[in-house]
Structure 1
Amino acid sequence: MPAPERIVLQVETTTDDPTEEFLVTSLPGQPKVSFKQYAGYINIDEDHDRELFFYFVEAETDPASKPLVLWLTGGPGCSSVGVAFFEHGPFRTQGKTIVKNDYSWNKEANMLYLDSPAGVGFSYSKNSFFYNELNDELTARDNVKFLSRWFVPFSKYKKHDFYIAGESYGGHYVPQLADILVKEKWNLKGIALGNPLLDFDTDFNAPDIFLWSHSMISDDTYHLKNTVCNSSRLIRESITGSLSSECQYVSNITDQQISNKTSKFDVSADVCLQSQADVLVKKSRKGKDVCAQEETIKYFNQEDVQTAFHAKLVDADSWELCGRVSQTYDALDREIPIVGIVGELVQSGVRVLAYSGDQDGVVPFIGTRHLIKNLASSLKLKTSVEYRAWIETEQVGGWTEVYGDNELSFATIRGGSHTPAENQPERLLVLFQAFVSGNVLPSQ
């Protein structure tokens, strides 16, 4: 009698969790943590295979009750995901490994970091013509598409209080995205703008008086900037390819006096030297890892890191913190006025915080403070908290002023750079806690 036929059943296991494909079990060198993290791609244009890359970190405790915050880094063309690893993400790079960030924003919120637009970080478009069309409007539309599609697998976060935050050219990205979301009736609670570009002339002329007041340029050079060529004219001529001889002259003198051993992004800090970038951790006298950005670039270029992130390099030989998009992005978009959009958001009920690291020489607090005060006046918002110091662990964390019922506010971070979470993480966490809780900054 022949042996009975052996039947092999193949059983496919399925999961009811649509987020599982994005789950990051562990990053190389990562310490053990209790919260979940996700990363991957959301396709926003099937016809041209355009995909945006995200990194999502649940709150350390009770994520179900914490708000959701979308973070957009500026540039234009710098990676939000990369910035997370030397600013306010859950980890900080340290050589070939990562360590826990004690001042991570996911202590207070569920954090969603988005590489935008395509071409930034791990985000990409296989349509090469796309990069010749990059502008603010396209970026905003793509970011709306991303959010709409991201909320499909992560639908449980739809009912959470929702905020958007960003820095630098995020002063364009964040309000423009928020404006669309408000018009489409999204439940947006507030936006935070760090060292933001809001007005071309005001923000780009502010460095002239800032650099002079910090003894980085001479009285004579400051006089040249006021009478021959100020910074906004210099940038405008550079953008249009019509740099005049007088502006070139003032620019050369300015660069010589500032020195290439000084960073306008943090005028009080040391700079990372090429020889230091190979050291595990190199700290300045202030305790800041001056090579944090260089270490992050090395970490993200590890193959095992990209595998853990479910990431890939498309039309790029290596991962860059700030890549090609900065050269192809519509330069004239920098002149788009944003303050009016911010005012409309305030009037629609969206709470707005503008904050500035007071050691930033790129978009100094001088311009931002002036713009916010004038905006409050135009909106007829009364000053509810007069200009005063705010406190972090019994020390001055910065200065703040609040308008209306905390509808519009401004704050500085004492000692903060253009990326203040990088060198003043404790103070920025206090500011972030106040922002998402709807409170004013502590006075004692």
Structure 2
Amino acid sequence: MSPRPFSMVATILFVVAQIFVTAISVSEDDKISSLPGQPPVKFQQYAGYITVDDKQQRALFYYFAEAEVDPASKPLVLWLNGGPGCSSLGAGAFVEHGPFKPTENGLVKNDYSWNKEANMLYLESPAGVGFSYSANKSFYRFIDDEITVKDSLVFLQRWFNKFPQYKNNDFFITGESYGGHYVPQLAQLIVQTKTPFNLKGIAIGNPLLEFNTDFNSRGEYFWSHGLISDLAYESLTTTCNYSQIRREAQSGSLTPACAGVGKLLSSEIGKFVDTYDVTADVCLSTIDQQSLVLSQLQETQKIDVCEEDKTHNYLNRKDVQQALHAKLVGLSTWSVCSDVVKYDMQNLEIPTIPILGKLVESGLRVLVYSGDQDSVIPLIGSRALVNALAKEIRFKTTMPYRAWFEGKQVAGWTQVYGDILSYATIRGAAHEAPFSQPERSLVLFKAFVEGKPLPEFSSS
């Protein structure tokens, strides 16, 4: 006898319920009760591993901070730091825009955390970065963009299986620096494979989009900011430019001409100016390493120039690693940028600006933004690339270049093309814009995920 319709429906509902309960119980295994030294908060946090290659036992580590209020209705945002080979946990979450900031004694609340506006998912990628690992150590010697992006897609597919309640939330992919490769390539793969994520757009800060344009804009940036002489600038334009210097140094075949220009630049800029934020002070305890995280004076608040040092110390505490469900596999120390990943640096020369064009043509919103104190990937190149892209795909300017505001102060400048492709600067911000200008970066982020224009001046 065939079962009655009611029994069939009940059976199906029971199976679905069991799947849902299993998924929730799996996610509960990754739930963080509290991080050591953490102030009390009402939102939930999760951290743990997603295996992306069962055979090779390759697993990526994530940290997830739910939105402070009403996470079910807020967008889900994946954040990817650059490098290649640097940590989204250590840089993105704990130095830039996560819910907490490290101190000598523990953590303090970040007043400008991005989880005020979204559910924030930080991924340490590729394997070999931070707490992410591969049991097969030979993997570390052959990493490139294709492998990294494919692993990230597998991660997302399996992460959504753990957290099915977020499958219908608006989804955005964000990042900075070499994230200019990871972010658009991952978005393109999602579109090409028709993976059923509710992807709405991408945002990338100070991104590497086109090797020659981005690197050669450094010379003009240094000269215009008074960091190098007329002679040095002339040498960059006539003898050996920055892309040549980087290309030759990378291949281990630096010519005498380029070596001479490089030596001149080093002598003029010196080691007490960090190229990631040309107006900032340096953390003297890490001056030899030229810390990527530097200071910026914002109103009366002094940004901690040694934030990265404190993050390093905090994430190497055993009680912190235990709370995060993290482990060190084949390593003795967590570091913000990997010592084991041997990335194929030829990937730096893969242009990703054409991918942005394909993404906006597919209907995804794309934001490129620049901290205007960064000379590593200066606004000069990024702005020119976005403007040229808009002309190439015949997107007309729908919002002319104008200032945008945080409160009553100019926070940067912006231009919008076709109501879907936009460029913005963040005034006074470094390579890691949310670290050096947290309040302005939060305003920009909020406008982006809400699909609204950046604010104009308001007298009220």
Measured against the shorter chain, the TM-score band is over 0.9
TM-score for both structures, normalised by structure 1: 0.94
Match of 1:76 in 2: 84
Distance change (3 Å), C-alpha of 1:211 and 1:309: same
Match of 2:201 in 1: 190
Count of matched residue positions in the alignment of Structure 1 and Structure 2? 425
1:34 aligns with 2:45: no
Q: Does 1:314 align with 2:325?
A: no
Equivalent of residue 274 in structure 2, options 252, 263, 268: 263
Residue 235 (structure 2) aligns with = 224
Partner of 2:404: 390
Q: Give the distance between the partners of 1:357 and 1:442, measured in 2 at CA.
A: 17
Give the alignment partner of residue 285 of structure 2, picking from 274, 291, 297. Answer: 274
Per mean C-alpha deviation after superposition, the further-off stretch among 420-429 and 90-99 is 90-99
Query: Bigger shift: 238-247 or 164-173?
Result: 238-247
Structure 2 residues not aligned, in runs of 5+: 1-20, 289-293
Give how far 1:284 is off. Answer: 6.7
The one of 116, 140, 143 aligned to 2:149: 140
Write the deviation string for residues 202-226 of structure 1: whole angstroms up to 9, x where unpaired.
0011110001111000000000011
1:55 to 2:63 alignment: yes
- Is 1:120 the counterpart of 2:133? The answer is no
The yes-or-no answer on 1:372 pairing with 2:380 is no
2:402, 2:150 → 1: CA distance? 39
Q: 1:392, 1:306 → 2: CA distance?
A: 37
Determine which of 79, 90, 99 is the counterpart of 1:90: 99
Q: Amino acid of the residue matched to residue 412 of structure 1? A: T
Tell me the SS of whatever aligns to 2:152.
Answer: helix
Structure 1 residues 15-24 or 36-45, which shifts more?
15-24
Q: Which runs of 4+ in 1 moved over 4 A?
A: 282-286
In structure 1, what is the Cα distance between the partners aligned to 2:392 and 2:452? Answer: 23
Asked if residue 296 in structure 1 is aligned to residue 311 in structure 2, the reply is: yes
Which amino acid in structure 1 is aligned with residue 328 of structure 2?
Answer: L
Residue matched to 2:7: none
User: Could you say what secondary structure the match of 1:25 adopts?
Assistant: coil
- Structure 1 residue identity aligned to 2:55: D
- CA contact under 8 A between 1:76 and 1:325: conserved in structure 2? no
- The alignment status of 1:433 with 2:446, answered yes or no, reads yes
Match of 1:239 in 2: 250
Question: Quick check: 2:271–2:287 contact (8 Å CA) kept in 1?
Answer: no
Q: Match for residue 6 of structure 2? A: none
Residue 163 of structure 1 corresponds to: 172
What is the distance in 1 between the residues matched to 2:139 and 2:285?
A: 35
TM-score (norm 2): 0.90
1:64 alignment partner, SS class: coil
CA distance in 2, matches of 1:334, 1:180: 19
Q: CA deviation at 1:96?
A: 3.4
Tell me the CA shift for residue 276 of structure 1: 10
Q: Which residue of 1 aligns with 2:182?
A: 173
Aligned to 1:45: 53
Match of 2:346 among 329, 332, 338: 332
User: What does residue range 15-30 of structure 1 map to in structure 2 within 5 Å?
Assistant: 17-30=25-38
Aligned partners of 2:296 and 2:428 also within 8 Å: no
Shift of 1:440: 1.1
CA contact (8 A) 2:379 2:425 kept: yes
The AA in structure 1 aligned to 2:139 is: F
TM-superposed deviation, 1:18: 2.7
Residue 213 of structure 1 corresponds to 224
Backbone CA RMSD of aligned residues: 1.5
Q: Shift in Å at residue 314 of structure 1?
A: 0.8
How far is 1:238 from its partner?
1.2
CA distance in 2: counterparts of 1:323 and 1:145, whole angstroms? 22
* Deviations 1:64-98, CA, capped at 9 Å, x for gaps: 00000000000001100111111000001112311
For the residues of structure 1 that align with 2:264 and 2:286, how far apart are their CA atoms?
Answer: 28
Q: Deviation string for 1:163-199 (max 9, x for gaps)?
A: 0000000000001100010112233100001000000
Question: Is residue 361 of structure 2 the alignment partner of residue 347 of structure 1?
Answer: yes
Contact 2:280 2:295 (8 Å CA) reproduced: no
Residue 390 to residue 275, structure 1, CA distance change in 2 (3 Å)? closer
The SS at the match of 2:26 is: coil
Query: Given the alignment, which residue of 108, 125, 146 partners 1:99?
Result: 108
DSSP-derived class of the 2:386 partner:
helix
Segment drifting more, 186-195 vs 27-36: 186-195
Residue 212 of structure 2 corresponds to: 201
Deviation string, structure 1 residues 395-421 (Cα, Å, up to 9, x no partner): 00000000012x100000000000010
Instruction: Give the secondary structure class of the aligned counterpart of 1:63.
Output: coil
Report if the CA contact (8 A) 2:177-2:377 is conserved: yes
Tell me what 2:428 maps to.
415
Kindly provide the amino acid, as one letter, of the partner of residue 409 in structure 1: S
CA distance in 1, matches of 2:297, 2:391: 41
CA separation of 1:337 and 1:284: change in aligned 2, threshold 3 A: closer
State the alpha-carbon separation in 2 of the partners of residues 303 and 340 from structure 1: 44
How far apart are the structure 2 equivalents of 1:95 and 1:221? 42
**Distance in 1 (alpha carbons) for counterparts of 2:69 and 2:141:** 43
Q: Which amino acid aligns with 1:308?
A: A
Say if 1:276 and 1:291, in contact at 8 Å, map to a contact too: no
In structure 1, the residue matched to 2:9 is none
Q: After TM superposition, give the deviation of residue 324 of structure 1 in Å.
A: 2.0
Query: Is 1:356 paired with 2:370?
Result: yes
Alpha-carbon distance between aligned partners in 2 of 1:360 and 1:30, rounded to the nearest angstrom: 32
Contact 2:295 2:436 in 1 (8 A): no
- Measured after TM superposition, the shift of residue 132 of structure 1 is 1.3
Aligned match for 2:158, one of 143, 146, 149: 149
